[in-house]
């Protein structure tokens, strides 16, 4: 009974002490949910990948942070006795409405924080997959607009080729490289950029399985060879459209990559 009376006693619930506690908890909570993911990224994600992720994928966190700041500012304003008691705000109905509004704001802070924290933890587990897909998506978008690849996209693909550990993560990356390569190979023969395809095969696909011999993985090597074989077959199939001549540059590049992979 006492707790029920306290719950419906809005003067107590919206008092200075109650609101001060709510603001303190909200600030601590926001700092916590912002700090924990940052600590995880700082500790477990390599610098090169972390910077790449923040640039390409993680640009939304400032909007979340600004939203949380506005909600906390509302609690600060609500804690002002002059605002709460000014004019008609002294009525019981409006006081109760302010009470529910305050609880609603606190609930938004808590719920949005949980969602943000969950997404951050989830993204930290498959950051490599997100980056691989995002870079290839950006590269394809740029190519459709300019008939070329952005230098930054090629550089980031090269970084992933060297930084990603062997195994499943590297295979996911190679699958995205295959998607990009196949799209470029499927362009009309007269519009196909053989030199660009050769750069991807040599400096990304081949490099991803030959950069560090200590991290060689048979599954990754098979995937890289599959991409090279696919490229060879597509070029040869389209050779007739180019006057029965397969690109000597790509032919040489693919052969050298196959020898290097072994």
Looking at the structure, do residues 118 and 244 belong to the same domain, yes or no? no
Give the integer Cα–Cα distance in Å for 198 and 181: 9
Looking at the structure, do residues 139 and 255 belong to the same domain, yes or no? yes
Looking at the structure, do residues 120 and 19 belong to the same domain, yes or no? yes
The CA distances from residue 182 to 193, 215, 245, 253, in Å, are 12, 26, 20, 16
Residue recorded with tokens 């196949």: 182
Q: Which helix (H) or strand (E) is 100 found in, with range?
A: helix 92-125
What's the pLDDT at 190? Answer: 81
Q: Which helix (H) or strand (E) is 109 found in, with range?
A: helix 92-125
Looking at the structure, do residues 131 and 86 belong to the same domain, yes or no? no
Residue ranges of the chain whose pLDDT lies below 50: 1-10, 87-89, 214, 240-241, 243-246
Last residue of a domain, one of 125, 159, 175: 125
Number of structural domains the chain divides into: 2
State pLDDT tens for residues 114-157.
887 777 766 666 788 889 999 999 999 999 999 899 999 999 99
Looking at the structure, do residues 153 and 169 belong to the same domain, yes or no? yes
Looking at the structure, do residues 176 and 113 belong to the same domain, yes or no? no
- Token pair belonging to 159: 């970084």
Looking at the structure, do residues 132 and 203 belong to the same domain, yes or no? yes
What's the pLDDT at 206? Answer: 93
Count of residues making up the chain: 262
Residue partners of 99: CB distance under 8 A and separation at least 6? 10, 13, 14
What's the pLDDT at 170? Answer: 92
Last residue of a domain, one of 125, 145, 171: 125
Give the integer Cα–Cα distance in Å for 104 and 123: 28
Looking at the structure, do residues 238 and 134 belong to the same domain, yes or no? yes
Domain, as residue range, for 92: 2-125
């Amino acid at each position: 009974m006492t707790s029920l009376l306290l719950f419906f006693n809005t003067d107590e619930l919206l008092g200075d002490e109650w609101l001060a506690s709510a603001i303190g908890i909200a600030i601590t909570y926001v700092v916590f949910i912002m700090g924990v993911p940052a600590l995880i990224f700082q500790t477990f994600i390599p610098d090169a990948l972390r910077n790449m992720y923040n640039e390409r994928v993680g640009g939304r966190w400032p909007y979340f942070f600004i939203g949380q700041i506005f909600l906390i500012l509302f609690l600060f304003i609500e804690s002002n006795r002059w605002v709460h008691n000014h004019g008609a705000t002294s009525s019981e109905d409006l006081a109760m409405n302010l009470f529910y509004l305050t609880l609603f704001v606190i609930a938004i802070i808590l719920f949005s924080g949980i969602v943000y924290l969950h997404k951050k933890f989830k993204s930290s587990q498959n950051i490599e997959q997100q980056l691989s897909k995002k870079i290839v998506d950006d590269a394809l978008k740029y190519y459709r607009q300019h008939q070329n690849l952005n230098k930054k996209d090629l550089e980031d693909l090269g970084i992933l080729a060297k930084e990603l550990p062997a195994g499943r993560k590297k295979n996911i990356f190679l699958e995205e490289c295959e998607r990009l390569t196949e799209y470029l190979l499927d362009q009309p023969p007269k519009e196909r950029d053989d030199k660009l395809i050769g750069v991807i095969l040599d400096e990304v696909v081949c490099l991803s399985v030959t950069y560090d011999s200590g991290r060689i993985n048979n599954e990754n090597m098979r995937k890289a060879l599959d991409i090279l074989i696919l490229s060879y077959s597509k070029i040869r199939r389209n050779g007739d459209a180019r006057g029965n001549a397969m690109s000597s540059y790509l032919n040489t590049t693919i052969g050298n990559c196959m020898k290097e992979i072994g």
